[in-house]
Amino acid sequence: MEENELLPHLFRTEYRKIVSVLCSLFGIEHIETAEDIVSDTFLTAAELWGMKGLPANPAAWLYTVAKNKTRDHLRRDKLFAQKIAVDIKNDAPLSEDISIDLSDRNIEDSQLAMMFAVCHPSVSTEAQIALALNLLCGFGAEEIADAFLTHKETVYKRLKRAKEKLRAENVKIAQPTQPEVSSRLDTVLTTLYLLFNEGYYSASRNTLLRKDLCAEAMRLTLLLLQNKHTGNPAVSALLALMCFHASRFEARTDRDGEIILYEDQDITLWDHELIKKGEYYLNLASQGSRLSRYHLEAAIAYWHTHKDDTPEKWENILQLYNQLLQMEYSPIAALNRTYALSRANGKEEALVAAAQLDLKDHHLYHLLLGHLYEEIDNEKALQHFHTALRLTRSDPEKTAIGKNIIRLSGAREV
């Protein structure tokens, strides 16, 4: 890796680790102190490495400097140091030899504890995702704003409110107890699921950022899976789902960022190693007796890694969507089920099902109807494509829909 690329890379990989450990040490009320110490550590690295060159082990250097800066802060702020001493030791004043454990095990434990703290039910879903990106993944406000297609000032406010809420609720950053795992793991999984989707389906043109979002969601899900208290079948199913979707990432857009429909994707661009991993985690998810939405969505994604259009494939996908909608109704799942119905039973039956959906203000609904009406009523197809074009905010989708309109308009003239 080039020298000028190393520090940004380390910021992404090491910032989140040190912040998690210091947040666990200081408590939720001092998140900003932890962030300031780590930011100052990287600022020192940028200054000194530029003058003196890279140290032999850059990551270890960062850990050492972060420890020293933490001890310096504790020495300067005696009241803060006393409070930390009481919180973590329950004895006499804090020694300057306080153990700041940056071992792999403690980093993983701290990140797991942070995950459950960030996903506290008092914090809104949007704020949970933003906090996870910021504290657990090392994303800055500008990157988060890009992912959400919003302004960084909005992200700053969202993060500030979320941290204030966690402090007001006196949320503890600690290894989750079994009751906390039972009551809050679903919330954590939902946050990771939405975090992955933010990368996979994001309208942002920043492909590298979108890949990073997906990779971070997968990393945190794997962290849950590897922990004996949280590694249950639903977690395995979610990771399988992510692997199957991520395996087709490169084939979903062309060089210009334009969307390539599933049936037109180049199978040679699929990541077959990720598909194998997905199959492994899906098999792992089959243990236990509880069927989650992630099991069903992972099975649907599994069938989508088979490019052959056999009746068995689409019938299986259709039945899985039927189960999913019975378990937990979602308008988008119902829309996807309608597409599967068209492939399994034909467009006419799918059009009847589509008429029952209350999605007239959603561009994907009109995009689907455009495709369903093709060759049945091209005028109606064009009307729906034009409505989809008006409703979508995504530039790549606008380009793809525009091509459909041009193609169909040409067919109508002929």
Output the DSSP codes for 346-395. -HHHHHHHHTT---TT-HHHHHHHHHHHTTT-HHHHHHHHHHHHHH---H
DSSP 118-163: HT-TTS-HHHHHHHIIIIIT---HHHHHHHHTS-HHHHHHHHHHHH
Q: Is the pLDDT of residue 87 over 60?
A: no
pLDDT digits (tens, 9 = 90+) for 138-185: 888 888 888 887 899 999 999 999 999 999 999 989 888 888 898 899
pLDDT at 323: 97
What does the mean pLDDT of the chain come to? Answer: 89
Q: Using CA atoms, how far apart are residues 15 and 35, in angstroms rounded to an integer?
A: 9
Give the helix/strand (H/E) hosting 281: helix 272-285
Structure tokens at 72: 């310096």
pLDDT at 358: 87
pTM for the full model? 0.88
Band the pLDDT of 207: cuts 50, 70, 90. Answer: confident
Q: Is the pLDDT of residue 204 over 80?
A: no
pLDDT digits (tens, 9 = 90+) for 254-287: 877 778 888 889 999 999 999 999 999 999 999 9
pLDDT at 262: 85
pLDDT at 81: 62
pLDDT at 91: 44
What residues contact residue 28 under an 8 Å CB cut-off, 6+ apart?
Answer: 117, 163, 166, 167, 170, 171, 172, 173
pLDDT digits (tens, 9 = 90+) for 321-375: 999 999 999 999 999 999 999 999 999 999 999 999 989 999 999 999 999 999 9
- Average pLDDT over every residue of 192-197: 93
pLDDT digits (tens, 9 = 90+) for 52-70: 889 999 999 999 999 999 9
Band the pLDDT of 84: cuts 50, 70, 90. Answer: low
Q: Is the pLDDT of residue 93 over 70?
A: no
Band the pLDDT of 382: cuts 50, 70, 90. Answer: very high
Per the document, the length of the chain is 414
pLDDT at 7: 86
Mean pLDDT is lowest, of 3-17, 55-69, 162-176, 216-230, for 3-17
List 253's β-bridge partners, or say none: 259
Contact 262, 286 (CB under 8 A): no
Q: Using CA atoms, how far apart are residues 351 and 205, in angstroms rounded to an integer?
A: 32
pLDDT at 261: 81
Q: Is the pLDDT of residue 224 over 90?
A: yes
Higher pLDDT, 281 or 77: 281
Residue showing tokens 């561009």: 363
Q: Using CA atoms, how far apart are residues 256 and 298, in angstroms rounded to an integer?
A: 29
Helix, strand or coil, per DSSP, at residue 253: strand
Q: Is the pLDDT of residue 97 over 60?
A: no
Percent of the chain, pLDDT > 70? 93
pLDDT at 17: 94
Band the pLDDT of 412: cuts 50, 70, 90. Answer: low
**Helix residue ranges, H only, 53-77:** 58-76
Residue among 38, 36, 32, 48 nearest 10 (CA):
38
Distances (CA, A) of 222 to 174, 190, 379: 19, 15, 48
Q: Using CA atoms, how far apart are residues 381 and 392, in angstroms rounded to an integer?
A: 17
Q: Using CA atoms, how far apart are residues 381 and 371, in angstroms rounded to an integer?
A: 7
Residue showing tokens 């098999």: 283
pLDDT at 65: 95
Q: Is the pLDDT of residue 203 over 80?
A: no
Backbone angles phi, psi at 259, to 5 degrees: -70, 135
